[in-house]
Structure 1
Amino acid sequence: MSLLGAIEAGGTKFVVAVADVNDPDTVIARESFPTLDGAGTLAQVIAFFDQYEDIAAIGIAAFGPIDINPDSRTYGYVLDTPKRGWSGYDFLGAMKAWRDIPYFWTTDVNGAGWSEYVSGAAADVENVVYLTVGTGVGAGIIQHGHLLSGNSHPEAGHIMMRKHPQDNYAGHCPFHGDACLEGLAAGPAIEDRWHESAKSLPDDHLAWEIEAYYLAQAAVTYTVTLRPDRIVFGGGVPHREVLLPMVRKAFAEQLADYLPVDDLDKYIVTVGNGDNAGVLGCFYLAKSLLAA
């Protein structure tokens, strides 16, 4: 039996898994472990895959920034990151040295976004923005069935923001302070602003109005620049059920009928594949290498 491999490489934990090439929606085996430095973590990844001889291809969806340009000298590397032991680490090279098989190398948000495009909340459309809002903010963008990239992957979590009139927070982003989406709307920004866990904040707290304002503003920016068919929100923050209806309302106010968006309940949605999105995306991307 030929297998597909998945590496969901997060800054906090790694998830590795295998599935049958003919049934990528079903996980055969799966493990997770805390993210150490590059060499230490990859040793655990390789130990897991060493159990399987018939792996045809592996999808890797990694925290970034990473180099995804095949013509670059550092293609396959993790670039400058605050995660200790990862800056300048040749992630893809280490995997190829272990076993020279096809690898699909992309970002964590691209992996999850591709999963939503293939079998999740955006399976019926061609143009998608998948936005994850958690420890950080990032986006996977799919246009006409292709992941969007230029000379590298998008960093759509760092678009510039207009601040909410009632928000005096100085911002959490070490690069942009309170000027960018991640600095204002990521999970740590919510907790730092209000000095308590986002999970403990009640539904009627001002925090959610401010959060919805920023996420709606981002959705407007992606709408007018990319014209997607759907925007899918993932990550821990959108788990709060009160939030997405507030985002839709704020989106309509900010867009101000400039462009036609017929049904906001279908345009701005939450994930369909939940916590499996990253692993499934890796399987689907790995299988695409075999079909090429």
Structure 2
Amino acid sequence: MYGAIEAGGTKMVLAVGDDKSNIVETTEIKTRSPRETIPEIMDFFGKYDIEGMGIGAFGPVCLDRNSESYGKIGKSPKLEWVGFSWMEAFGKADYPVTIDTDVNAACLGEVKYGNGKGLNNVIYITIGTGIGVGVYAEGNLLHGALHPEAGHILLPVSGRDGFEGICPYHKNCFEGLASGPAIEAHYGKKPQLLLDDMSVWEQEADYIGKALMQYICCYCPERIILGGGVMHIEKLFPMIREKTLSYMNGYVDTKEMQNIESYITPAGLMGQQGIKGALFLASLK
């Protein structure tokens, strides 16, 4: 059996499963301080004979296995977790621990079991409390010097109402303009209370389309998968596809883009892409 943690800023999903990522037991706990959260995690996994652990963690997080900081949280908005080390937390475990970002784990879950299955070049974007991008390129998750932070690409501000974005680092980055909290800050209501206001979703689709145009030019993926709470609003998908094609303006004309409905798709694992991806990480030798 393998253990998996999808460590989000709001909640943590814990699961035990087999080497095919079939889940035997799962639970959710609230993300509090490490001092409060880690004992709950250990209690859950203590019931099982675990052979490996996979963790998809919010970040920034060090992913360099050769570094003493492997698994350590960097400058996170979750201030209590800054400097926390997943490797130190599991230091006494007698099984290997593999760590990646939460969005990379979700991307991996979709590639292995969901709407990216069989493809070698996929990007997965979660649009919710924040915006993160997992990149699967030439059959491997992309890390680089740290890991992609493509939710923070700068976007031109649309509209004339003076909204500048909410990112404390960049203001008008993708996350600062189009995340769930950005929508609420812009319009003064939570996204679920704005469902009938088409101008909100036209604006949202415009920002997402601008971002996807840049990702297509940078990564040229075979498929783009969109997940996260904001993407539960299904009427966004046709608007996003239309905006993306408009911004591309015919520049990249691949066979994949000729069928835009299958090129830009929703996540395919009913919200389990992150935990299934973490289970797959756990099974890696």
- For structure 2, the residue ranges without an aligned partner over 5 or more in a row are none
C-alpha displacement of 1:41? 1.0
Q: Deviations over 1:29-52 (max 9, x none)?
A: 111111111132111111111111
Match for 2:10 among 6, 12, 15?
12
Check the 8 A contact 1:203/1:242 in 2, yes or no.
Answer: no
Contact kept, 8 Å, 2:157 with 2:164, in 1: the verdict is no
* 1:111 maps to which of 105, 112, 123: 105
User: What is the correspondence of 1:26-105 to structure 2 with a 5 Å cutoff?
Assistant: 26-52=22-48, 54-97=49-92, 99-105=93-99
How far apart, CA to CA, are the structure 1 residues paired with 2:161 and 2:91? 48
Q: Indicate which of 272, 280, 285 corresponds to 1:276.
A: 272
TM-score by length of 1: 0.93
Q: How does 1:127-146 map to 2 (within 5 A)?
A: 127-146=121-140
Q: 1:222 aligns with which of 215, 227, 230?
A: 215
Q: Is the 8 A contact 1:130 1:141 kept in 2?
A: yes
Number of residues of Structure 1 aligned to a counterpart in Structure 2 = 282
Among all aligned residue pairs of Structure 1 and Structure 2, give the percentage whose two residues are the same amino acid.
39
Cα distance in 2 for residues equivalent to 1:128 and 1:9: 22
Residue-by-residue CA offset, 1:224-267 (whole Å, 9 max, x unaligned) = 11110000000000110110110000011100000112111011
- Aligned-residue Cα RMSD (Å) equals 1.2
TM-score (norm 2): 0.96
Greater CA deviation, 194-203 or 181-190?
A: 194-203
Q: Deviations over 1:95-153 (max 9, x none)?
A: 122x1311110000011110001111111321001000000000110012100011111
What are the within-5 Å matches in structure 2 for residues 89-238 of structure 1? 89-97=84-92, 99-166=93-160, 168-178=162-172, 180-238=173-231
Unaligned runs of 5+ in 1: none
Output the amino acid matched with 2:218. T
Residue 90 of structure 2 aligns to a residue in which SS? helix
Query: For residues 274 and 176 of structure 1, what CA distance do their matches in structure 2 show?
Result: 32
- Out of 58-67 and 88-97, give the one that drifted further: 88-97
2:246 is matched with 253
CA contact (8 A) 1:37 1:84 kept: no
**Residue identity in the other structure for 1:45:** I
Secondary structure of the 2:240 match is helix
Q: Is the 8 A contact 1:38 1:91 kept in 2?
A: no
